[in-house]
Structures are given as structure tokens and as C-alpha cells.
Amino acid sequence: MNLQLNNKVIIVTGGAKGIGEGICKVLAAEGAIPVIVGRKAEDNLKVVAAIEAAGGRAFQVAAELSEPAECKKAVDAVVAEYGRIDGLVNNAGVNDGVGLENGNYEAFMASLHKNVVHYYLMAHHALPELKKSKGSILNITSKTAETGQGNTSAYAAANGGRNALTREWAVELLKYGIRVNAIVVAECWTPAYDTWINGLDNPQEKLNSITSKIPLENRMTTAEEIANATAFLLSARSSHTTGQIIHVDGGYVHLDRALANA
């Protein structure tokens, strides 16, 4: 299926690693021009080089998105380079473990800046160009907003905010023909996940415990699977889909996990 993404300029925050990297590579393979926005230029450029080596095109902007001014700087750099924005993927963030019992105001607020404030700011600053292109916004969110996890109040709150903003923006932007959707991630294999699990005392035992609870095929979701769904939702092939919060999680959130071992 041709997703009709040729030459579309699409910003991907956190595009240098993990899910964001997967999204950038899939978009480039579909003919789009992903713009990798990440805090380290050297990491961004590695993805740009990999995409170009595969015959695609990409651009990068180094920005620390937890700093509000950096969000505008990133958007301005894309407009200066291409004169347009056709899509925005809000993806950057970190499950930073700011809980209720052991957290504090400063850490909680800092986490919100890392995980949801820049979603709003990137969309706000990109909106004038998205109006012109009738582009799309795709928010990556986490199961923590729906299932809880424990000891991660700020991240869970941020993801609840991401889900709410998806529906709110879909309503507000109807008049411009701008579609807004979200993809909820549960257990997805990324380098950060690999680092976390291999830092545990019994990593394989823990991994087996997690995958045994994922109903479809007892395995982790891949970054490419998240990326494929993202590309579709950004494309004209999903032209009547907006305000949707879609779970690409092997049934983890909504299916009875007892089914995984049935």
C-alpha cells in the first residue's frame, strides 16, 4: 500500500533512539523526510546517516525539549530548512520513576516538562504550518496512564495528559482538517529497555515473566511495529481517523492476560 508520504516533512521528537528511531526509519522508507529532534546532535546524525545510506532523506535538530524555548527553536529550524511541516510525532520522554511516597514537587514538575509540556509546545509552535498543510499529529503514549505501574506518578500523569490532549486537539483542530491520534505503548523492546532489564539480578527470568503476560505470541512489541502504525496514522490512508487512542501492545492492556498461557 502506498501511504502517500513522499516528500512529507515530519518532525519526530526523540527520534534518535528506540521507538523514535524506528519511526524515522519507517517514515524515510515510505519516502517521507523525518526530522529527528533530540538533545544530542551526534546521536541524531547517526540516524540521519543510516537513513541516507538506505537511500532515504532526513534532517536533524539538536534541542533539549524540557526547556520551553528549545521547542520553538526546533520548529523554527525545520521551517527555515524546508518551509513546511506536514506532520508531528510527539515521542520524546522518559519513565523517570518520580513517585508519590518518595517524590517531591520539584522532581514532579521537572518530569512533566520532560514528558508532556513539550508535547503541547511542539504542537503549538508547529500549528501554523500544520494548518497550511492540513497535516497530522501523532502522540506516543504509555500504558501507565491506564494500568498504573507504581512509583511513577509523574510519568503516569504525563501520559494521562498525552491521551487527553489527543482527544482535545482532535476536537479543536477539526476546522483545519488536522487529524490527531495517539498510539499507546505497553512492553516494547528498545535499547533503554534492554539496559533496564539487564541491570536486574535475574534479567532473563524477569523478561520471561513479562512476555508471559503479553497475550499475542508472548513477546515484546517491536519499535518497527509501533512505527508502522504511526506511518499509517500520519498518512492519507487514514484520512477519516482522528481522536483515536490506539493500543499497539499485543493485547497487553485490554485482553485478559490469563489468555497468554491458555
Coil, strand or helix at 239 = coil
Residues 165, 158: Cα–Cα separation, whole Å: 10
Closest-CA residue to 44 (of 74, 5, 76, 84) = 74
Residues 86, 70: Cα–Cα separation, whole Å: 20
Q: Which residue has the cell 489527543?
A: 166
Enumerate residues 6+ apart whose C-beta is below 8 A from 175: none
How many separate helices (H) and strands (E) can be counted in the chain? 10, 9
Q: Which residue has the cell 504509555?
A: 142
Q: Centre a 10 Å sphere on the Cβ of residue 255 and count the other Cβ atoms it contains.
A: 15
Residues 243, 163: Cα–Cα separation, whole Å: 9
Active-site residue, from 105, 119, 155, 176: 155
Q: Centre a 10 Å sphere on the Cβ of residue 93 and count the other Cβ atoms it contains.
A: 24
Residues 26, 231: Cα–Cα separation, whole Å: 7
155 is catalytic: yes
- DSSP label at residue 69: H
Output the nine-digit C-alpha cell for 241. 481517523
List, by residue number, the catalytic residues. Answer: 155
